[in-house]
Amino acid sequence: MSTTTATGPHAARNVSETTETAKQNRVLTPRFYTTDFEAMNRIDVEPVREEWNALVQEFRDDSNSNHFERDEAFADEVNTNLPPALKKEFIDFMVSSVTAEFSGCVLYADIKKRATNADIRELMGYMARDESRHAGFINRALKDFGMDVDLGHLRRAKKYTFFKPKFIFYATYLSEKIGYARYITIFRHLEKHPEKRFHPIFRWFEQWCNDEFRHGEVFALFMRADPKLLEGRNRLWIRFFLNAVFATMYVRDHDRPEMHAAFGMDPTEYDYEVFRITSECTRQVFPMTLDLDNPKFHRALERLRRITVSMERARQQGGVIGAVKRAGLTVAACVGFARLYMVPTIPNELPAKVLTQPAW
Ligand SMILES: [Fe+2]
Ligand SMILES: [Fe+2]
């Protein structure tokens, strides 16, 4: 099999196909967000000023400034002739990852552009810097396979979902901490089983994940600076986001059997390890954690996964019958999510000190 490069004859077609995939908005694909920028500009970090200053200093120090460059071994380690099923899943994973990284970059850059609040402007600039490095690094790895995502086009053409600032806080905080937990879990696993590392990009994950960890700390401080975001009805929203984000990850990961087989990882075990690390992280800010050991929680996630598989089949079937099946399955998915949501949570008392260290 020959390898295709970005300059090969099919490069233009590949680029646009990959970009089209990244542009799609389905339930499980990464989205782009917009928000109430005026409200973002009014964020007041004074109640957590001391910790805020310490965190901003870390961003200024920029310990990863040289990290996102390839070393000499990188090119030799890239194998573009992976088995076709694995290659398809890996590319799908990379396209989804570059979209998620770039989604953060766009949101942080947009907030920075519209902010006059010096704290917010500076911080959002650093986070956009980090995410742009992450997206660029993945996109370059996609180019080795003859494809990449046209990020400029994506920025202009992808649909944006509006979220109120508090929902941005809950969702983005969780996605940063889950991003950390995912990257470090893969890195630690491949550290023990280097023969399973089928692409060099995984060597970058250890330092990379520290950026995501730090981004999560920013949102933890925003929420701890405004405690009403963690009380009353908002507790129901937090519970909703915890369940929704965990369920999305579970369903999406189980749709990549080849990649997990190549890693020598069981996707369920991997996901629960990521859930455990994420739950430990979220104790700095969320008033509850999900009961990961509850068999009802396990069963509810599995049910949602099976429903999603059937929905995808109905979507491919198309036609009236496919549509009817999908409508029925949508109801089943709502009921399934309600069951997951109803699994009792574990109360968590917030620590006095907010900032934590990436200790995994
Ligand atoms: Fe990132
Ligand atoms: Fe991030």
Residue 95 alpha carbon to ligand 1 centre in Å: 13
In DSSP notation, 327-343 reads: HHHHHHHHHHHHHHHHS
Query: What was the pLDDT predicted at 28?
Result: 60
Residue 135 alpha carbon to ligand 1 centre in Å: 7
181 has pLDDT over 80: yes
Which contacts qualify for 151-156: CB closer than 8 Å, 24 or more apart? Answer: 151/98, 151/102, 153/19, 154/19, 154/22, 154/23, 154/32, 154/99, 154/102, 155/32, 155/102, 155/106
Query: What was the pLDDT predicted at 274?
Result: 98
Asked if 62 and 55 count as a contact pair (C-beta separation under 8 A), the reply is: no
Residue 102 alpha carbon to ligand 1 centre in Å: 8
Residue 270 alpha carbon to ligand 2 centre in Å: 20
- How confident is the model over 184-213, as pLDDT tens digits? 999 999 999 999 999 999 999 999 999 999
Asked if 160 and 92 count as a contact pair (C-beta separation under 8 A), the reply is: no
Q: What percent of the chain has pLDDT over 70?
A: 94
- How confident is the model over 283-314, as pLDDT tens digits? 999 999 999 999 999 999 999 999 999 999 99
Residue 215 alpha carbon to ligand 1 centre in Å: 8
Q: What is the residue-averaged pLDDT of the chain?
A: 93
- How confident is the model over 93-145, as pLDDT tens digits? 999 999 999 999 999 999 999 999 999 999 999 999 999 999 999 999 999 99
Query: Across residues 345-360, what is the average pLDDT?
Result: 96
Map out the domains of the chain as residue ranges: 11-347
Residue 313 alpha carbon to ligand 1 centre in Å: 32
**In whole angstroms, what is the distance from residue 209 CA to residue 178 CA?**
10
**In whole angstroms, what is the distance from residue 360 CA to residue 347 CA?**
23
Residue 208 alpha carbon to ligand 1 centre in Å: 7
Given this structure, which CATH class describes domain 11-347?
A: mainly alpha
Which contacts qualify for 53-62: CB closer than 8 Å, 24 or more apart? Answer: 54/355, 55/214, 55/217, 55/218, 55/221, 55/355, 56/119, 56/122, 56/123, 56/126, 58/214, 59/123, 59/126, 59/127, 59/214, 60/126, 62/126
Asked if 301 and 312 count as a contact pair (C-beta separation under 8 A), the reply is: no
4 has pLDDT over 60: no
Q: What is the CA angle 214-221-237, rounded to 5? A: 105
- How confident is the model over 158-179, as pLDDT tens digits? 999 999 999 999 999 999 999 9
14 has pLDDT over 90: no
24 has pLDDT over 80: no
**In whole angstroms, what is the distance from residue 334 CA to residue 256 CA?**
23
Query: What was the pLDDT predicted at 20?
Result: 79
Residue 111 alpha carbon to ligand 2 centre in Å: 15
26 has pLDDT over 70: no
Query: What was the pLDDT predicted at 127?
Result: 98
- How confident is the model over 270-282, as pLDDT tens digits? 999 999 999 999 9
Structure token digits, residue 29: 């694909």
Which residues are CB-contacts of 104 (< 8 A; sequence separation ≥ 6)? 127, 128, 131, 172, 175, 176, 215
Range from 54-68, 206-220, 311-325 carrying the lowest mean pLDDT: 311-325
Residue 194 alpha carbon to ligand 1 centre in Å: 24
Residue 76 alpha carbon to ligand 1 centre in Å: 25
End-to-end CA distance of the chain: 40
Shortest-distance ligand to the CA of residue 178: 2
User: Which pLDDT band, with edges at 50, 70 and 90, does 15 fall under?
Assistant: low
Residue 212 alpha carbon to ligand 1 centre in Å: 6
User: Which pLDDT band, with edges at 50, 70 and 90, does 44 fall under?
Assistant: very high
**In whole angstroms, what is the distance from residue 225 CA to residue 247 CA?**
28
Query: Across residues 251-258, what is the average pLDDT?
Result: 95
Nearest in space to 55 (alpha carbons), one of 211, 193, 161, 164? 211
What secondary structure letter does DSSP report for 2? Answer: P
2 has pLDDT over 50: no
Beta strand 160-162 with 32-34: parallel, antiparallel or unpaired? Answer: parallel
Residue 127 alpha carbon to ligand 2 centre in Å: 7
Asked if 59 and 52 count as a contact pair (C-beta separation under 8 A), the reply is: no
Shortest-distance ligand to the CA of residue 218: 2
**What does pTM read for this prediction?**
0.92
Query: Across residues 75-98, what is the average pLDDT?
Result: 94
Asked if 183 and 209 count as a contact pair (C-beta separation under 8 A), the reply is: yes
Structure token digits, residue 13: 């077609």
Query: Across residues 42-59, what is the average pLDDT?
Result: 98
Report the chain's C-alpha Rg in angstroms. Answer: 20
Residue 184 alpha carbon to ligand 2 centre in Å: 14
Burial grade of 327 (CB within 10 A; 0-12, 13-18, 19 or more):
exposed
Which residues are CB-contacts of 185 (< 8 A; sequence separation ≥ 6)? 270, 273, 274, 277, 360
- The amino acid at 173: Y
Query: What was the pLDDT predicted at 16?
Result: 67
Residue 166 alpha carbon to ligand 1 centre in Å: 20
27 has pLDDT over 80: no
In this structure, how many other beta carbons lie within 10 angstroms of the beta carbon of residue 324?
11
